[in-house]
Amino acid sequence: WNKTFLRLLDFPPEMAFVGAPFESFIRYNAERADYGPGDPQGYVEERVLAARAFAPHEIERTRPDGTVLLVRGLPVPGHGFVTLYSDITAQRNAERQIREQTTLLETRVTERTAELRRSEAQMRLITDSIPALVAYFDHNRVYRYVNRGYREWFGLDPAKPGAVSARQYLGSATYDAIRPNVARALAGEAVTFEYETTIVGGTRVTARTTLIPEIGADGRVAGCFELTFDITEQKRAQAMLVQAQKMEALGQLTGGLAHDFNNILTVILGNLDALTRARSGDATVTEFVDPAVEAARRGADLIKGLLSFARKQPLEAQAADVMPLIASVGRMVRRSLPDSLQLDMASGNAPLWTWIDTHQLQNALLNLVLNARDACPLQGRIAV
C-alpha cells in the first residue's frame, strides 16, 4: 500500500501493516456505512467472497462524502492481486456540468427555433431591424433564412435564401479561410471568428461572425444560426489606442533623451563661451566659434521641441515676424550645403506677422531645407 491509499479512503495509518487481513479494511468501511445503509456483516461477506475469486474488475464507487472512486483490480499470477484506486470526482462533476449545459443549450435552441416557426413574420421584422447580418443554414450548408442585412452588404435577395452561396458572396479566398469554422459549428461547437470581406460598392470591412449549432431531437446538428457584425470601426479604434500608447511611450523616452542631451549642450555652450572670452581679439576664433554657438543654441531649441513632443515643455507661442526667422535659418544652414547647391531664402521688407512658437517654426524650416539637400542631385537649387 502507499500513503495515498490510506489518505484517499480515510483509513487510519495503524491499520496498514504487513500481514493485515484484507477483511479488516472491508469491515472498517462497512461499519462506517461507506458502502451505504444496510447490514455491515452482509457487505463484508459479499466483498470478501468476491475478492477470493481474484477476478479482474473495474468499478466506480461513490463514497458518502461524494468522492467518486474508480477501482481497477488485476491478479498477479503467483503473487496476489493489485488494486488501483483513482479519485475521478472532478472528472464526473465536469461531465455532469457539460451534460447540464448541453441540455440547457439544446432547450434554448429548441425554444427559439419553435418561436421562430410560430412567428416568422414578426421575427423577420425584428432581424431586419438589427444592424447586423442574421441567417440560418442547414446541415447541408444550404441557407434557409437571411435577413435584410445580407441585401445591404452583398446585394442578396432575402426572399430566395436557398440561392445564396457563401463562396460566391465572400469570394473563394475568404470562404476557404473560414470554412474550418463552419465545419466545427456543424460538428456541434459554437464558434466565433473574424475576417475581412468586400461588400456592395467595393467597401472593405472587418466582420465578426458567431455560429451557434441547432441540435435536433435526435442529437444531430440540424443547422446553424449565424450572427455577423461590422467591427471595422472597433478595429480602427483599437489600432488608434495602440498607436496612442506607443506615442506615449515614445514621448517618455524622448523626454529622457532630451534631458540628457540638454546637459551635453550646456557643457558645449559653456566651453565655447569660455573660448570666446579667452580669445576675444582673434577673428579666426570668432569666425568658427560663432556658427558653433549658433548651432548649439539651435540644438537647445531642438531639445525644447523634443520636450514639447514629450509634453514636458510648454509651447511658447508669441507674435513673431517670419522674415528674420527665415534669414536666421538661412545663415545657420548655408555652411552645411555643398557649393554646388544654391540656396535662395525668401526676402522682402514687408513684415509677415504670425502667432507661433518661433523655435518650432525654425526647426520645421531647417528640416525642410536639409531634406531638400538630401533629395537634390549634385547640382540644384533650394528655394524657401
Report pLDDT digits (tens) over 348-372: 778 899 999 887 888 788 888 888 8
How does residue 320 score in pLDDT terms, banded at 50, 70 and 90? very high
- Mention every residue, 6+ apart, whose C-beta is less than 8 A from residue 226: 133, 134, 135, 136, 137, 209, 210, 211
Q: Residue 338: what pLDDT?
A: 82
Helices vs strands, H then E, count in the chain: 12, 12
Q: How confident is the model at residue 307, as a pLDDT?
A: 65
Least confident among 16-20, 76-80, 256-260, 280-284: 256-260
For β-strands 341-344 and 380-383, DSSP reports them as parallel
State the pLDDT at residue 130.
79
Determine the residue type at 122.
Q
Query: Does the pLDDT of residue 313 top 80, yes or no?
Result: no
Return the higher-pLDDT residue of 38 and 251. 38
Range scoring the smallest mean pLDDT among 80-84, 161-165, 260-264, 319-323 = 260-264
What are the pLDDT digits (tens) for 204-216?
A: 999 999 999 999 8
Which of 258, 240, 366 is closest to 311 using CA atoms?
A: 258
3-state secondary structure (DSSP) of residue 214: strand
- Reported as a single tens digit per residue, the pLDDT across 244-281 is 787 777 667 766 676 677 778 777 888 888 888 888 77
Confidence bin at 306 (pLDDT 50/70/90): low
Q: Which pLDDT value is given to residue 308? A: 62
pLDDT (tens digit per residue) in 88-123: 999 999 999 999 998 998 988 888 877 767 777 677
Task: State the DSSP code for 165.
Answer: -
Residues in a beta bridge with 110: none
- Tens of pLDDT, residue by residue over 129-180, are 778 889 999 999 999 888 888 888 888 888 888 888 888 888 899 999 999 9
Per-residue confidence band for 309, with pLDDT thresholds at 50, 70 and 90: low
DSSP type of residue 292: H
40-52 and 22-31 helices, crossing angle to 10°? 150
Say which residues have a Cβ less than 8 Å from residue 8's Cβ, sequence separation at least 6.
67, 69, 85, 87
> What is the average pLDDT across 3-10?
92
Instruction: Label the pairing between strands 57-62 and 68-76.
Output: antiparallel
pLDDT at residue 206, as a whole number? 92
pLDDT at 12: 94
Average pLDDT over residues 191-195: 93
- Count CB atoms within 10 A of the CB of residue 182: 19
Q: Which residue type is seen at 181? A: N
Q: What is the mean pLDDT of residues 17-25?
A: 93
Dig out the grid coordinates for 190 from the structure: 459554437
Which pLDDT does position 355 carry in this prediction?
93
Average pLDDT, the chain: 85
Q: Give strand pairing partners of 215.
A: 221
